[in-house]
Amino acid sequence: MITLKVNGQDRQVDVDPATPLLWVLRDTIGLTGTKYGCGIAACGACTVHMDGQPTRSCSVTVGDVGAASITTIEAIESKAAKAVQTAWQKLDVVQCGYCQSGQIMAATALLESNPKPTQEDVEAAMTNICRCATYQRIKTAVNEAARIMEG
Please give the residue ranges that form the binding site for other proteins (CB under 8 A). 15-16, 19-20, 23-24, 26-28, 30-40, 42-43, 45, 72-74, 85, 88-90, 92-101, 104, 122-123, 126-139
- Length of the chain equals 151
Contact 29, 13 (CB under 8 A): yes
Among the listed residues 100, 109, 112, 146, the single contact to ligand FES using CB under 6 A: 100
Counting beta carbons within 10 angstroms of the beta carbon of residue 17, is it exposed (0 to 12), middle (13 to 18) or buried (19 or more)?
exposed
Q: How far apart are CA 102 and CA 21, in angstroms?
A: 14
Query: Cα–Cα distance between 88 and 29 in angstroms, integer?
Result: 27
Nearest distance, CB of residue 61 and ligand FES, angstroms: 13
Helix, strand, coil shares, percent, the chain, to 5 = 45, 15, 40
Site map (CB under 6 A) of ligand FES, residues 47-66, x = contact? ---------x-x--------
Contact 52, 40 (CB under 8 A): no
Binding flags for ligand FES, 5-44, as an x/- string (CB under 6 A): -------------------------------xxxx-xxxx
Binding partner of residue 89 among other proteins, ligand FES, none, CB under 5 to 8 Å per kind? Answer: other proteins
Q: What are the residues binding ligand FES (CB under 6 A)?
A: 36-39, 41-46, 56, 58, 94-100, 130-132, 134
